[in-house]
Structure 1
């Protein structure tokens, strides 16, 4: 018999709805799991055990009297510590923010709570989401390796069975990077699909927030709860929210999928490429039309990404850098200082380049009749702790390698998911990235569901049961 913490959100929801499992039993199991393994993984900044148990008791009473709110009712969630939670410290994993306790919840937290989800804690981020390592946290598949970032705590918590769902944010890949290296599912929705109100910003032009989960079905259920217009976030778009879960069984026989001949497969580890191409072959075998395409303006992504987020992050944190710079970690402080040297003219040119890239991808999809682009989420698996660059001729810094294949999704604002598609010889996970048209999350999700590996382990820190 599986322990409750091992269940996916969808599996747990079915048992809760049938009253075969109570929210109290699920929360107790998850909290016991955190107590048992988080001293090795360090996914959580704060564990909100008392809050979770109180919420579980309320959920059990509500469900018992017939007030079932839906598939997130009684399901546990880890919330990235960049996201404000009323009465619970929100530190952004920074000493400079260690005393900050919000008085209100972020929009995404309110929507999750409205759907009945239960927060079990705040998960570590790379400080202010400004990195891909999440230094405090370790990868549950092998604790000598990083969990990615910046949502590394969320990815590691999911992989290790310490929550069913998790909140991630994504400015240069920070949902998809940790999802790929931790072997979980992550979806960066279309820019404007989910409200960012109440979340510390890294880059207003590039920030996204979205679901991380153990399965595609779980991610779809979570997106259903959090998607939609929010007048307090001017970037959100008033577009109808479809039924994401209903789309999952649609198959891929009517889809045309583009496979890049350039950029995404440049400098990719052979084992990563093999696993990704095998996943694409599975989609073709399920009836999808696959055609090769050329990614537009390949030299523009990294300069535009860095110019925008460096400048915007430094503007957002300028006062903090002046007043509490000594409390900011060296790597992040250095990037904030560099951002102050980005010229206004270069920043404006980067924004113009973003528009050209958006136009280029729109034309790419239209000219080739594409529904999706399929590519590696990352060119490499999880780096070792302390590793600065990946081997090669020349070598590539870890941050550049990870951001390089993620940045197109942020610059274009297109929906992009990472779904597990295999492991390398060392047992480290590999992710397939699926990128869709604007607001075509249902298409991204049903392709991800079609290629998702059945029976894939839901955790990475043995023993699971």
Structure 2
């Protein structure tokens, strides 16, 4: 096995015991990138000389942090001190902010090797699409907006990468590319230094190739409760199988994946029960759209005024309130979100997790359609932690995943649940 093939958790163990160096792992990842990048196009910026220099610095460090020696990709709307942050926008091409975003500072401080910037949909919001292709079929999208991060981890270029989610930008690419992804509770990862779209929704998360990889990053960010074990085996879990308010628009393969995951868990002795969400949840998808577009008006006003000609029409329309969002509609959406958050949290500890679709179906053909966030946006608005788990393949042989969801600040317990259920849901792992 080449070092690039190791999961982050497996590589971390070898890095700690000295049988692998950060430089050797980084060099192996760079070799994999050289092989696959012409096809997958996951990166907007990569400097092999800089990456190896960063790795050598880590190898010389006296202390070994939680992420010691692990190559890490950074979505190109998150600032890095030693690399440009372009946001996939002509306005900011080549921009160097000269400082790390808060999440990058944590990763670097815990010994990660910041390897490169991964391509993204413009401003992680709309406009230009990433050049990235799905590693399983270059004719298909890897999803968005965390296009490059999801594809790079799935294709073995990196063991870990940052993504963000405002609608479905992290969990949906995990499903499309067949890797693991975590959207933590909103706000537990400081978003300073990442492009702001919606302060109510923007959430920084990460990709890995196993649940243990996701936990490593969670430990680096000191998520609440990681020192408190779940304290129950697989057969004592209670999982709510939730089709959700948008089940009727799910493709056949997504419906099949959810039911298959439920069947696998049931066969393994897990108590799986159908979960019908209360009536207010019928309107939560629309509430997320209203908040997204309402808050997004101000997010791009500066570029609208200073660089109007370079700003994609998509963002001009948002500043001009093309959707006709009213103050009353926003207030109602905020109120509904608050009501639904309390209702959802009330399902726990009666349940250990909720199992629900991760995407509408397989990855669409082409780059322009990055997929529908309809099976993610409500969870983003609820501020709850979500973990994407590969499950099966669709009619075109493309990955189709599911996700498990927990209550706000239930990240640690959800990671423990993921470690138990992932081998059942994802037997290929």
Q: Does 1:59 align with 2:58?
A: yes
Deviation at 1:262, TM superposition (A): 4.5
Larger deviation, residues 136-145 vs 266-275? 266-275
For residues 227 and 102 of structure 1, what CA distance do their matches in structure 2 show?
A: 26
Matches within 5 A, 1:102-117: 102-117=97-112
For residues 281 and 209 of structure 1, what CA distance do their matches in structure 2 show?
A: 32
TM-score of the superposition, structure 1-length normalised?
0.86
2:138 is aligned to: 143
Describe the SS at the equivalent of 1:360: helix
Describe the SS at the equivalent of 2:363: coil
Deviation at 1:177, TM superposition (A): 1.0
Q: Does 1:33 align with 2:32?
A: yes
For residues 129 and 421 of structure 2, what CA distance do their matches in structure 1 show?
A: 29
Question: Which of residues 404, 410, 416 is equivalent to 1:440?
Answer: 410
Residues 290-336 of structure 1 show CA distances to partners (whole Å, capped at 9, x for unaligned) of 21121232431222111111121220211201222322334444444
For residues 415 and 322 of structure 2, what CA distance do their matches in structure 1 show?
A: 36
Question: Which of residues 347, 350, 355 is equivalent to 2:330?
Answer: 347
Deviation at 1:380, TM superposition (A): 0.9
Larger deviation, residues 291-300 vs 413-422? 291-300
Residues 38-63 of structure 1 show CA distances to partners (whole Å, capped at 9, x for unaligned) of 1221111111323321121122233x
1:252 is aligned to: 234
* Number of residues of Structure 1 aligned to a counterpart in Structure 2: 426
Gap regions ≥5 residues in structure 1? 229-239, 389-397, 458-465
For residues 213 and 302 of structure 2, what CA distance do their matches in structure 1 show?
A: 39
1:68 is aligned to: 64
Q: Does the CA-based 8 Å contact 1:42-1:137 persist in structure 2?
A: yes
| CA spacing shift, 1:250–1:113, aligned 2, 3 Å | farther
Q: Does the CA-based 8 Å contact 1:133-1:146 persist in structure 2?
A: no
How large is the RMSD of aligned CA atoms in angstroms? 2.3
Deviation at 1:448, TM superposition (A): 2.1
Deviation at 1:27, TM superposition (A): 0.6
| CA spacing shift, 1:339–1:18, aligned 2, 3 Å | farther
Q: Does the CA-based 8 Å contact 1:84-1:198 persist in structure 2?
A: yes
For residues 298 and 142 of structure 2, what CA distance do their matches in structure 1 show?
A: 28
Question: Which of residues 405, 411, 420 is equivalent to 2:375?
Answer: 405
Residues 265-294 of structure 1 show CA distances to partners (whole Å, capped at 9, x for unaligned) of 322222222222221222223332221121
For residues 17 and 239 of structure 2, what CA distance do their matches in structure 1 show?
A: 39
2:420 is aligned to: 450
Describe the SS at the equivalent of 1:322: helix
Describe the SS at the equivalent of 1:122: strand
For residues 352 and 361 of structure 1, what CA distance do their matches in structure 2 show?
A: 14
Matches within 5 A, 1:167-186: 167-186=162-181
Residues 21-40 of structure 1 show CA distances to partners (whole Å, capped at 9, x for unaligned) of 21111111111221221122
Q: Does the CA-based 8 Å contact 1:250-1:446 persist in structure 2?
A: no
Q: Does the CA-based 8 Å contact 1:258-1:291 persist in structure 2?
A: yes
| CA spacing shift, 1:102–1:386, aligned 2, 3 Å | closer
For residues 264 and 289 of structure 1, what CA distance do their matches in structure 2 show?
A: 24
Describe the SS at the equivalent of 2:235: coil
For residues 11 and 18 of structure 2, what CA distance do their matches in structure 1 show?
A: 10
Larger deviation, residues 444-453 vs 417-426? 444-453
2:302 is aligned to: 319
For residues 291 and 161 of structure 1, what CA distance do their matches in structure 2 show?
A: 36
| CA spacing shift, 1:387–1:293, aligned 2, 3 Å | same
TM-score of the superposition, structure 2-length normalised?
0.92
Deviation at 1:337, TM superposition (A): 3.7
Question: Which of residues 358, 377, 381 is equivalent to 1:377?
Answer: 358
Deviation at 1:387, TM superposition (A): 6.6
Deviation at 1:97, TM superposition (A): 1.6
Q: Does the CA-based 8 Å contact 1:132-1:174 persist in structure 2?
A: no
Q: Does the CA-based 8 Å contact 1:378-1:406 persist in structure 2?
A: yes
For residues 416 and 264 of structure 2, what CA distance do their matches in structure 1 show?
A: 14
Larger deviation, residues 300-309 vs 287-296? 287-296
2:191 is aligned to: 196
Deviation at 1:122, TM superposition (A): 0.6
For residues 110 and 367 of structure 2, what CA distance do their matches in structure 1 show?
A: 40
For residues 181 and 10 of structure 1, what CA distance do their matches in structure 2 show?
A: 23
| CA spacing shift, 1:142–1:337, aligned 2, 3 Å | farther
| CA spacing shift, 1:100–1:414, aligned 2, 3 Å | same
For residues 28 and 213 of structure 1, what CA distance do their matches in structure 2 show?
A: 19
Moved over 6 A (4+): none
Question: Which of residues 268, 292, 299 is equivalent to 1:309?
Answer: 292
